[in-house]
């Protein structure tokens, strides 16, 4: 067992943006996607505890962050996860209608739809973002969802943001067109 941060961590020290470093991890023998998972405290985090108590094994590639509500997941957290080298971001919350905070998971749902469009504009496949409803009783379901997401990410391959962006030069032009079109509203000089 390693007693120091592993090689991956050493290669991405603080201050050095690891945005484009994802490929490095993909060059080892087997590609292991990295997943940042935001789990709401009341349903999905409890489900992950239940998966543990029941010794349900799932893919180890996931890193879990507890938030009180899936509604707390700021879109910037998702973008920051990708920026820090995540190949996928999972958001899990209570089923619609079951939110501990009445209906905040509906706000997550709306944000999720918006975020999928948004990350696509930025050159990230929208399928790298996933929203799952897992109740406190659904440890098995959450574990299966994590493993399934990791499997799907393996098919997508490493998040190669830079390459995705450059390979499709039309993206930059499309963005420019948007700026021209809305120049007045955006109060910019194109």
Partner 1 sequence: MKHDETLRIGVYVCHCGTNIAGVLDVEALAHFAEGLPHVALARHYKYMCSDPGQELVKRDILEYNLNRIVVAACSPNLHEPTFRRAAEDAGLNRFLVQMANIREQVAWVTDDSTEAFTKAQAHLAAAIRRVAGHEALERQFVQIQPRAMVVGGGIAGIEAALTLAEAGKDVILVEREPTIGGHMAMFDKTFPTLDCAACILTPKMTAVKLHPFIKLLTYSTVESVEGSVGNYRVKVRRKPRYIDESLCVGCMMCIDGCVFTQAKFPNPFDQGLGKRKPVWIPFPQAVPPVPVVDPEVCLQIARGKCKQGCVTACGERNAFRFDQEEQIEEYTVGTIIVATGFKAFDPSVIPYYGYGRYPNVYTSLEVERLLNAGGPTAGKLTLRDGSTPKRVGIVHCVGSRDANFHPYCSRVCCMYSLKLAHLVKEKTGAEVFNCYIDVRAPGKSFEEFFNRVQDEGTQFIRGKVADITPANGDGAEGGGLIMNVDDTLLGTIRKIPVDMVILAVALEPQADASDVRRAFGISCSAEGFFLEKHPKLAPVNTANDGVFLAGACQGAKDIPDTVAQADAAAAKALALMDAGQIELEPNTAWVDEEMCSGCQTCISLCPFKAIRHDAERKIAVIDPALCKGCGTCVAACPSGAAKQHIFGDEQISEELEGLMNYV
Q: Least CB distance from residue 23 to partner 1, whole Å?
A: 14
Minimal CA–CA distance to 92: which of 143, 44, 41? 44
Among the residue ranges 3-11, 124-132, 149-157, 181-189, the one whose residues contact partner 1 (CB under 8 A): 3-11
Residue 79's contacts (CB-CB under 8 Å, 6 or more residues apart) are 119, 122
Q: Which is nearer to partner 1, 42 or 123 (CB)?
A: 42
Long-range contacts of 31-34 (CB under 8 A, 24+ apart): 31/154, 31/157, 31/158, 32/61, 33/61, 33/87, 33/88, 33/150, 33/153, 33/154, 33/156, 33/158, 34/61, 34/63, 34/85, 34/86, 34/87, 34/88
Query: According to CB under 8 A, which one of 44, 67, 92, 129 is a site residue for partner 1?
Result: 67
As a whole number of angstroms, the distance between CA 22 and CA 127 comes to 17
Query: According to CB under 8 A, which one of 19, 23, 26, 64 is a site residue for partner 1?
Result: 64
> Please, are residues 128 and 104 in contact by the beta-carbon 8 Å criterion?
no
Exposure of 15 by Cβ count < 10 A (0-12 exposed, 13-18 middle, 19+ buried)? exposed
Query: According to CB under 8 A, which one of 17, 20, 68, 162 is a site residue for partner 1?
Result: 68
Query: According to CB under 8 A, which one of 19, 26, 31, 84 is a site residue for partner 1?
Result: 84
Residue 119 near partner 1 by CB under 8 A: no
Q: Least CB distance from residue 130 to partner 1, whole Å?
A: 17
Query: According to CB under 8 A, which one of 92, 128, 138, 159 is a site residue for partner 1?
Result: 138
Q: Show the tokens assigned to 37.
A: 């998972």
- Per-residue mark of binding to partner 1, 153-182 (x: CB under 8 A): ------------------------------
Binding site for partner 1 (CB under 8 A): 1-6, 8-9, 12, 14, 18, 25, 34, 36, 41-43, 45-46, 48-49, 51-53, 55-58, 60, 63-69, 71-77, 80-81, 84-86, 94, 97-98, 100-104, 107, 111, 135-138, 143
């Amino acid at each position: 067992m390693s007693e120091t941060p592993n090689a991956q961590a050493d290669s991405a020290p603080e201050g050095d943006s690891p945005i484009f470093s994802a490929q490095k991890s993909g060059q080892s023998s087997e590609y292991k996607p990295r997943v940042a998972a935001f789990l709401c405290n009341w349903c999905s985090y409890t489900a992950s505890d239940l998966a543990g108590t029941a010794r349900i094994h799932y893919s180890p590639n996931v890193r879990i962050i507890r938030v009180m509500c899936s509604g707390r997941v700021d879109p910037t957290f998702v973008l920051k996860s990708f920026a820090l080298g995540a190949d996928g971001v999972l958001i899990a919350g209570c089923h619609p209608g079951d939110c501990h905070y009445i209906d905040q998971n509906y706000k997550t749902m709306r944000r999720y739809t918006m975020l999928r469009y948004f990350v696509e504009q930025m050159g990230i496949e929208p399928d790298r973002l996933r929203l799952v409803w897992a109740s406190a009783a659904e440890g098995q379901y959450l574990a299966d969802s994590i493993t399934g997401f990791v499997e799907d990410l393996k098919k997508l391959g490493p998040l190669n943001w830079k390459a995705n962006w450059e390979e499709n030069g039309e993206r930059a032009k499309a963005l420019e067109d948007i700026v021209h079109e809305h120049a007045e509203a955006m109060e910019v000089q194109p």
